[in-house]
Amino acid sequence: MKKSYYSKVSEILISKEEINEGISKASKWIDNEYKDVNEPVLLIGILKGCIPFLGQLTTKLEIDVELEFMIVSSFKGTQSAIGMPEIIKDIDSDVKGKHILLVEDIIDSGYTIKYVIDKIKERQPASIKIITFLSKDGNRKVDLEPNYTCFSIPDKFIIGFGLDYKEKYRNYEFVGVLKKEFLD
């Protein structure tokens, strides 16, 4: 444990090694899911939390993919999205007839991903699926489940591997629970 940031968490929920293994499995799921699709699959990452997950995932994929990104407003601090989210940055290309895979960092209530999926469906893609790095399965408030979840986690506020608290800690190589003294 050489990195100083290990001292800021009370618990490591998912280690770097477990993450690597989980993402390898996820990449195999994607390769298999789209094996009969002959054009590139469009991965749409929801910024900013998707970055480490999407980065590691894409390098393990064997199928052809294209990348796009969206920024969706959701929440500040330890509060998840409440009510209606909003698209702050939309994707740049036309998705009509494309096979789309939405890539999320975490699904909590599900409000954010439900909003995004409804917006994209209006644009008539050939198909749309969701993969998420983390899921708080017990917190769902909408009738929508991801097609693939790397890790289901309990209802704890976590940081690391893309997940932030007030924009910090996204760079941590593991998923952990921030010590109370660092919450304000």
Residues that bind Mg ion (CB under 5 A): 49, 105
Q: Is 157 in the site for ligand IMP (CB under 6 A)?
A: yes
Least separation in angstroms between residue 37's CB and ligand IMP is 27
Residue 163 contact, options ligand IMP, Mg ion, none, Cβ 5-8 Å cut-off depending on partner type: ligand IMP
Comparing C-alpha atoms, which of 96, 90, 92 is closest to residue 39? 96
Please pick, among 64, 92, 94, 108, the residue that the annotation labels catalytic. Answer: 108
Least separation in angstroms between residue 69's CB and ligand IMP is 13
Of 8, 19, 30, 49, which lies in the binding site for ligand IMP, with binding defined by CB under 6 A?
49
* Rg from Cα positions in the chain: 16
In the residue annotation, 108 being an active-site residue is answered as: yes
Q: Is 54 in the site for ligand IMP (CB under 6 A)?
A: no
Amino acid at 141: K
The alpha helices in 61-145, defined as continuous H runs, are 111-121
Q: Is 23 in the site for ligand IMP (CB under 6 A)?
A: no
Where are the strands (E) in 56-98, listed by range?
65-73, 86-89
Amino acid at 181: E
Q: Contact 70/44 with Cβ under 8 angstroms?
A: yes
CA dist 162 → 49, 53, 96, 104, 121 (Å): 4, 7, 29, 10, 26
Q: In this structure, what token pair is assigned to residue 177?
A: 């629970």
Q: In this structure, what token pair is assigned to residue 88?
A: 């702050």
Identify residues 82-141 at the interface with ligand IMP (CB under 6 A). Answer: 105-112
Residue 33 contact, options ligand IMP, Mg ion, none, Cβ 5-8 Å cut-off depending on partner type: none
Contact positions vs ligand IMP (CB under 6 A): 49, 74-75, 80-81, 105-112, 157-159, 163
